[in-house]
Structure 1
Amino acid sequence: MSKPEYEFFPVADVDFTVCPGDDPLITERVLARDPATGVATRILRYAPGADSTPMGVQRHDFWEEVYILQGSFTDLSLGQTFGAGMYACRPPGMAHGPWRSEHGVVTFEVRYPAVREGS
């Protein structure tokens, strides 16, 4: 299985939904997802005041690339704030978060499976 094939379409046609963790201040617009692996391409949005502390530090079994489109948020474990125009590339297992955004943030994220050695 893999992500579905799409030609260009208006991203605004995809609704924002509440992310896992059920915080209504943290929403996602999933552009493509592989239902077998859960890897996805999405727009993530933290409303002003959003805080992912209840979800704790995150680690994934997939690669994750994140580009901040607008706003900023703070990685509470690192005590560092990251803003628009910044990029992260996280290998499987890399710890990150939890996050807090005082004024809101919007990111573009691409997630893809880890490739096993010899595959």
Structure 2
Amino acid sequence: MGKPELEFFDHDLNIGWRQVEGALDGIIEKILSLDPETGSYTRLLKFPPGITTNETLIHDFWEEVYILKGSLTDLKKKETYIEGMYACRPPQMTHGPYNIPSGCMTLEIRTYVK
């Protein structure tokens, strides 16, 4: 089946924000498209100002992330990533934890490959 065909639309009017399951309070997401067969999706992800995560992340999917607004600092790598930066992470790549002093919004594409 794959992701649905979606022509341009105003996501602000049609899709609501929701708390990310299992994440710190205030980290919210808006799922833009989803492939129900594979679980692959595209989402907007928002971190509130002043939040610090405490987990090192390792995923079983490809993850592409583009920072739309704000910045975040990878505490382990001691690197700060700002608006306009992009990452493409293969499965099992470690990243985080993060400090987000001023808030951050990203566009994220998750792709599960079987």
Task: Specify if TM > 0.5.
Answer: yes
2: CA distance, partners of 1:38 / 1:50: 27
What residue is the counterpart of 2:35 in the other structure? 34
What residue is the counterpart of 2:107 in the other structure? 108
| Percent of aligned pairs sharing the same letter | 46
What residue is the counterpart of 1:6 in the other structure? 6
Cα deviation digits, residues 59-79 of structure 1 (max 9, x gap): 111111111011001112212
2: CA distance, partners of 1:16 / 1:50: 18
Gapped runs of 5+ residues in structure 2?
A: none
Distance change >3 Å, CA 88–CA 10, structure 1 → 2: same
The alignment partner of 2:81 has SS state of: strand
CA contact (8 A) 1:62 1:92 kept: yes
2: CA distance, partners of 1:2 / 1:107: 23
Tell me whether 1:20 sits opposite 2:1 in the alignment: no
The alignment partner of 2:52 has SS state of: coil
Instruction: Indicate the RMSD between aligned Cα atoms, in angstroms.
Output: 1.5
2: CA distance, partners of 1:22 / 1:68: 19
Tell me whether 1:65 sits opposite 2:78 in the alignment: no
TM norm structure 1: 0.86
1: CA distance, partners of 2:47 / 2:10: 21
Gapped runs of 5+ residues in structure 1?
A: none
1: CA distance, partners of 2:93 / 2:7: 32
TM norm structure 2: 0.89
CA contact (8 A) 1:30 1:40 kept: yes
Moved more, 66-75 or 15-24: 15-24
Counterpart of 1:99, as a letter, is Y
CA contact (8 A) 2:39 2:112 kept: no
CA contact (8 A) 1:92 1:114 kept: no
What residue is the counterpart of 1:44 in the other structure? 45
What residue is the counterpart of 2:89 in the other structure? 90
The structural deviation recorded for 1:91 is 0.7
